[in-house]
């Protein structure tokens, strides 16, 4: 487990912005201490409205990637209607959890291992007991969903 969860303030902002832009999303940095628009959980958790992800310096990178993942899995025409809560689909939620790990692997200074450790530290729960165990042994449905929707290659490369 990591000593401290990686926060947006300690990450490569340009790399995250570039990653989100690849999917037609924008990133807005919210002032420290201000409420985060579109945050489902409040506090420091990232928010989503339309095609925009909102984050503060204290927002965990795993939260930012998770919320971005919710927008990425939606067809662009459905994104415009999103405000705070993107889905009630278990399949989509699983796909988003898988995608956030894959996306973390594309970011220098984040990586899959760090993100999975942060997810565990934050309290994500998977029936096999850890994010890594879920990702490696129980997430075939999430991976298949992402492949079927053209968001992932069979080799786990994001499209």
User: What is the C-alpha separation between 15 and 147, in angstroms, rounded?
Assistant: 24
Nearest to 64 by CA among 41, 92, 90, 81: 41
> What residue ranges do the domains of the chain occupy?
8-148
**Tens digits of residue pLDDT in 87-136:** 889 999 999 999 999 999 999 999 999 999 999 999 988 888 899 999 99
Is the pTM higher than 0.75? The answer reads yes
Q: What is the pLDDT of residue 86?
A: 85
- On the CB side of 152, how many CA atoms lie within 13 Å of its CA? 24
Q: Which of 65, 80, 75 is nearest to 27 (CA)?
A: 65
pLDDT digits (tens, 9 = 90+) for 33-59: 999 999 998 899 999 999 999 999 999
């Amino acid at each position: 487990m990591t000593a401290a969860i990686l926060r947006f303030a300690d990450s490569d902002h340009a790399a995250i912005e570039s990653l989100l832009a690849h999917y037609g999303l924008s990133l807005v940095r919210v002032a420290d201490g201000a409420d985060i628009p579109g945050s489902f959980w409040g506090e420091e958790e990232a928010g989503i409205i339309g095609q925009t992800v909102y984050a503060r310096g204290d927002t965990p990178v795993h939260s930012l990637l998770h919320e971005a993942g919710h927008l990425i899995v939606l067809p662009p025409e459905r994104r415009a209607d999103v405000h705070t809560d993107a889905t009630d689909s278990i399949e989509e939620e699983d796909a988003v959890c898988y995608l956030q790990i894959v996306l973390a692997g594309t970011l220098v200074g984040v990586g899959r291992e760090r993100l999975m450790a942060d997810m565990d530290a934050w309290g994500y729960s998977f029936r096999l007991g850890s994010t890594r165990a879920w990702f490696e042994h129980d997430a075939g449905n999430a991976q298949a969903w992402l492949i079927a929707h053209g968001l992932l290659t069979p080799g786990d490369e994001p499209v």
